[in-house]
Amino acid sequence: MLNPQNIHLHWVNRLGFVARRQLAAAFEARGHKISAEEWAVLLILWNKDAVMPSVLADRTIRDRTTMTRMIDTMVRKGMVRREVDAADRRKSLIMLTDQGRALQGPLGGIAKTMIDASLAGIAAQDMEITLRVLRAMTENLLQEE
C-alpha cells in the first residue's frame, strides 16, 4: 500500500494547498480580498498585459469555463477589463485596469514575505535542485497528456 508520507506528489499537492490558503489569508488580513488563483492571473498580466483568456487558462492550468468565471469576478472587482481584439473581433483580450496594476506592489510584498518564510532554513543550492526537479516532473507529466 502506498504511504502518502513517502510520495513526492503528495507533498507537492499539500504545499500547493497550504500556500494558496496562507496567501489568500495574508492578502485578506491586509485588506485585499484576492484569491491565490486571482493572484496567479495578476502575475501573468503584470508580466504581459493584454492576454487572451485561453492563454490565462493554459498558464494557470484552469479549464476555460472556470477562467471565464474568474475573469468575470476580477472585472467586477475592478482589477481587469475585457477588450475586443482589434485584429480578430471574435477574440477578447484581458487587460489590467489601473487598480489591477496598482496591486502589484502591495500584493508582491505580501507574497514575498510568505515565500521567504517558506524558504527559511533551506540552502539556496537545495532550492536550485528542487526547482530543476519540479520543472522536469511537470514536463514529464505534460508529455503524458
Q: What confidence category does residue 29 fall into, taking pLDDT thresholds of 50, 70 and 90?
A: very high
Which residue(s) pair with 83 in the sheet? 93
Residue 65's pLDDT band (boundaries 50, 70, 90)? very high
The angle, 0 to 180 degrees and rounded to 10, between the axes of the packed helices 8-29 and 104-118 is: 140
Q: Are 94 and 45 in contact (CB under 8 A)?
A: yes
Encode pLDDT of 68-125 as tens digits: 999 999 999 999 999 987 787 788 999 999 999 999 999 999 999 999 999 999 999 9
Report the interhelical angle of 104-118 vs 36-47 (nearest 10°): 120
107, with CB counted inside 10 A (0-12, 13-18, 19+), is buried
Q: Where along the chain do its domains lie?
A: 33-108
pTM to 2 decimals? Answer: 0.86
**Mean pLDDT in the chain?**
93
Instruction: Please report the beta strands in the chain, taking only residues with DSSP state E, as ranges in sequence order.
Output: 80-84, 92-96
Task: Fold for 33-108, please state it.
Answer: Arc Repressor Mutant, subunit A (1.10.10)
